């Protein structure tokens, strides 16, 4: 039998139910992998005692025959999720020492289903970044390398620790969150599957807020089937989140037939970016051919406002962030700066926030403050929200014309080297989200599926975008793509 | 619209983030890069388009107007950097 930590959720579930393995064995296998993988920087707070306790409880449930699909499955949890009694600091120094007195709805849903938490995962500070380099914990590292080159690559961001941990088999799956591409870009960079569901599918309660109108959590997994299984457990209506959708959650896994005959797949011409690497073009063409061979109808479509999505995002997301992050004031939780004689409350705020927030977070909070300030609110913030309406309408129009899903590249490049973007201006880093950010602005479900390797041996992903609330249909199309692409490559172990 | 160091200082003040004097020129320059990127939005015809307020059409749910929790003083204060006598403590606000 191969090492237990390399199992998918579906395989582990079946073996657990067949009593071939126990959750405790599975959990120990993951814990020992985590111990040997410090070089990846993926796990930042380990919870082995809690994991063993949860695994034993899961084994009891399994033996009693009361075992949901996720029962006994060891997971990594992004540091953005508040987990009761366990450090939860959004990879920010301003939340040093913060241990929530409550549990996020999503982790509670997973725990209620019997899942096991191995620990908390690295990320960009407050989920602001595309390379995991803004974390207070230091970098998470991609388990993949360029051929024999030992340069450390980014696992992407902001869910970089989640991506690295799943790709390196430190856990069976992980939670991620996605405000502009933070699940899909890292999933593509490490060759795993990541889905951002429709806005409102997953409760945001207890998830540290970045940009509330864009934030959605989702699973990061080793297969599309696993994404279907885990997503079903994560989502559902939550009275504690006023934007949580009160809709029934279908059995997503049961919808994975792989049959996409007659489905209409849109190929948006605006996603053909100037300077896009030939390999990404080729991957996209290959993916299109695979869906066509599987019986789908391919249709060229236009989403005319695509190029305005990133600039609109970089008004709306910082604006919401500046408001959300106002709560970090050094009074109720987290870091408070040491004050000098005579310092008043304003100095306390200013020093605390200057010490606690990293440079990218400070930059975004200040940009948000600027675009919301008197005199600029209409010119920037309201204009961006109008453009957002048009971006959403672009999608509504193609869906109304009969398109079932849209196929695009997931990222404009393969994983880049850690430190390679240090000297670039901030906008260069923002371009990582060019294919993913439209989906957040329109509130749609999007999934990244690994589809091939570039000539340096790095994974590349494709993105499928679906109709609102039709994650089941989207997952099925992704399943057909996954089956046709047959991506089975794994990173060679160096850590 | 170009941001000078005085505007950068004002924004930092509004955001309640201390920025040292010598860091302001670099900050202003970064703002200008980002705002230059955002300026593209001026190309879009938004005449008659409503600003988006909710990405999914939904009515806010209402709950019963009843007490749902409370009596958790110790938990509320558990993470405070300075809590005294059941309160959050801060520097003197009123002389």
ipTM of the complex: 0.95
Rounded CA-CA distance A73/B68 in Å is: 33
> Of A370, A376, A331, A375, whose CA–CA distance to A353 is shortest?
A331
**A243 vs B contacts (CB less than 8 Å):** 54, 56, 58
What's the first-to-final CA gap in chain A, in angstroms?
22
Share of residues in chain B with pLDDT > 90 (%): 78
Residue located via tokens 């999505």: A309
- The minimal CB distance from A357 to the residues B17, B27, B39 is found for B17
Q: Is A78 known to be catalytic?
A: yes
Task: For A22-44, write each residue's pLDDT tens digit.
Answer: 999 999 999 999 999 999 999 99
Q: Is A361 on the interface with B (CB under 8 A)?
A: no
Over range B38-57, report the average pLDDT. 94
Residue A486 C-beta-side C-alpha neighbours within 13 Å: 3
Q: Tell me if A383 and B42 make a contact (CB, 8 A cut-off).
A: yes
- pLDDT, mean over chain A: 96
Q: Is A158 known to be catalytic?
A: yes
Q: Tell me if B41 and A322 make a contact (CB, 8 A cut-off).
A: no
Cross-strand bridge partners of residue A371: none
Report whether pLDDT(B7) > 90. yes
In this prediction, residue A1 carries a pLDDT of 46
Q: Is A342 on the interface with B (CB under 8 A)?
A: no
- What is the secondary structure of A120-165 as a DSSP string? EE--SGGG--SSSTT-TT-----S--STT----B---SSSHHHHHH
Q: Is A182 known to be catalytic?
A: yes
**B12 vs A contacts (CB less than 8 Å):** 366
What are the percentages of helix, strand and coil residues in chain A, rounded to 5? 40, 15, 45
Residue A25 contacts by C-beta under 8 Å, 6 or more apart in sequence?
A: A4
- What is the secondary structure of A337-354 as a DSSP string? PPPPTT--HHHHHHHHHH
Minimum Cα–Cα distance from B75: chain A residue? A101
Residue A201 DSSP SS3: coil
In this prediction, residue A298 carries a pLDDT of 98
Cross-strand bridge partners of residue A121: A43, A78
Q: Tell me if B61 and A345 make a contact (CB, 8 A cut-off).
A: no
Rounded CA-CA distance A356/A352 in Å is: 6
In this prediction, residue A167 carries a pLDDT of 98
In this prediction, residue A316 carries a pLDDT of 98
Q: Is A422 on the interface with B (CB under 8 A)?
A: no
- Note the Cα A273 to chain centre separation in Å: 23
Q: Is A315 on the interface with B (CB under 8 A)?
A: yes
Minimum Cα–Cα distance from A430: chain B residue? B34
Q: pLDDT tens digits, chain A, 495 residues: what are they?
A: 469 999 999 999 999 999 999 999 999 999 999 999 999 999 999 999 999 999 999 999 999 998 999 999 999 999 999 999 999 999 999 999 999 999 999 999 999 999 999 999 999 999 999 999 999 999 999 999 999 899 999 999 999 999 999 999 999 999 999 999 999 999 999 999 999 999 999 999 999 999 999 999 999 999 999 999 999 999 999 999 999 999 999 999 999 999 999 999 999 999 998 888 899 999 999 999 999 999 999 999 999 999 999 999 999 999 999 999 999 999 999 999 999 999 999 999 999 999 999 999 999 999 999 999 989 999 999 999 999 999 999 999 999 999 999 999 999 999 999 999 888 888 888 888 999 999 999 999 999 999 999 999 999 999 999 999 999 999 999 999 999 999 999 999 999
Rounded CA-CA distance A22/A69 in Å is: 14
Q: How confident is the model at residue B61 (pLDDT cuts 50, 70, 90)?
A: confident
In this prediction, residue A426 carries a pLDDT of 81
Residue A218, sorted as left (phi over 0), alpha (psi -120 to 50) or beta, turns out to be beta
Q: Tell me if B56 and A349 make a contact (CB, 8 A cut-off).
A: no
């Amino acid at each position: 039998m191969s090492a237990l930590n390399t199992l998918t959720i579906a395989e582990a579930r079946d073996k657990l139910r067949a009593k071939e393995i126990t959750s405790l064995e599975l959990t120990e296998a993951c814990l020992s992998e985590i111990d040997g993988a410090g070089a990846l920087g993926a796990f930042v707070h380990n919870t082995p005692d809690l994991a063993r306790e949860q695994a034993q409880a899961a084994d009891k449930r399994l033996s009693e025959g009361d075992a949901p699909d996720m029962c006994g499955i060891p997971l990594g949890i992004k540091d953005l999720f508040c987990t009761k009694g366990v450090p939860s600091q959004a990879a920010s120094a301003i939340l040093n020492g913060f241990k929530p007195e409550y549990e996020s709805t999503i982790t509670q849903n997973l725990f209620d289903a019997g899942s096991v938490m191995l620990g908390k995962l690295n990320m960009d500070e407050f989920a602001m970044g595309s390379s995991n380099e803004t974390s207070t914990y230091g970098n998470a590292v991609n388990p993949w390398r360029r051929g024999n080159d030992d340069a450390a690559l980014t696992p992407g961001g902001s869910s970089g620790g989640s991506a690295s941990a799943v790709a390196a088999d430190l856990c069976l799956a992980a939670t991620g969150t996605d405000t502009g591409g933070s699940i899909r870009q890292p999933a593509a960079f490490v060759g795993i599957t990541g889905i951002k569901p429709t806005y409102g599918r997953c409760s945001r309660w207890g998830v540290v807020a970045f940009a509330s109108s864009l934030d959605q959590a989702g699973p990061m997994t080793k297969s599309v089937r696993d994404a279907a299984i885990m997503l079903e457990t994560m989502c559902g209506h939550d009275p504690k989140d006023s934007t949580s959708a009160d809709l029934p959650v279908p059995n997503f896994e049961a919808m994975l037939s792989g049959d996409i005959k007659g489905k209409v797949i849109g190929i948006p011409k605006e996603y053909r970016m100037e300077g896009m690497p030939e390999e990404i073009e080729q991957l996209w063409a290959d993916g299109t051919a695979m869906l066509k061979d599987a019986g789908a109808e391919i249709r060229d479509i236009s989403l005319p406002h695509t190029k305005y999505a990133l600039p609109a995002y970089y008004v709306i997301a910082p604006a919401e962030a500046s408001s959300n992050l106002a709560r970090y004031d050094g009074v109720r939780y987290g870091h408070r700066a040491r004050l000098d004689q005579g310092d008043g409350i304003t100095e306390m705020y200013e020093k605390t926030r200057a010490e606690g927030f990293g440079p990218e977070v400070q930059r975004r909070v200040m940009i948000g403050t600027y675009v919301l300030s008197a005199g600029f609110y209409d010119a920037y913030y309201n204009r961006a929200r109008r453009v957002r309406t048009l971006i959403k309408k672009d999608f509504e129009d193609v869906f109304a014309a009969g398109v079932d899903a849209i196929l695009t590249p997931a990222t404009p490049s393969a994983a880049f080297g850690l430190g390679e973007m240090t000297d670039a201006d901030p906008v260069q880093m923002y371009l990582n989200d060019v294919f993913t950010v439209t989906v957040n602005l329109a509130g749609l479900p999007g999934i990244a599926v690994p589809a091939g390797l570039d000539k340096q041996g790095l994974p590349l992903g494709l993105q499928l975008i679906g109709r609102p609330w039709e994650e089941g249909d989207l997952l099925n199309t992704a399943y057909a793509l996954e089956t046709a692409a047959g991506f089975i490559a794994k990173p060679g172990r160096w850590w | 619209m170009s941001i000078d160091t005085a505007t950068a200082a004002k924004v930092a003040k509004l955001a309640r983030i201390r920025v040292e004097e010598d860091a302001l020129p670099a900050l202003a320059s970064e703002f200008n890069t980002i705002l230059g990127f955002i300026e593209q939005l001026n190309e879009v015809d938004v005449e008659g388009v409503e600003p988006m307020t909710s990405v999914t059409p939904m009515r806010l749910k209402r709950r019963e107007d009843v007490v749902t929790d409370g009596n958790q003083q110790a938990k509320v204060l558990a993470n405070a950097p300075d809590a005294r006598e059941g309160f959050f403590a801060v520097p003197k606000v009123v002389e």
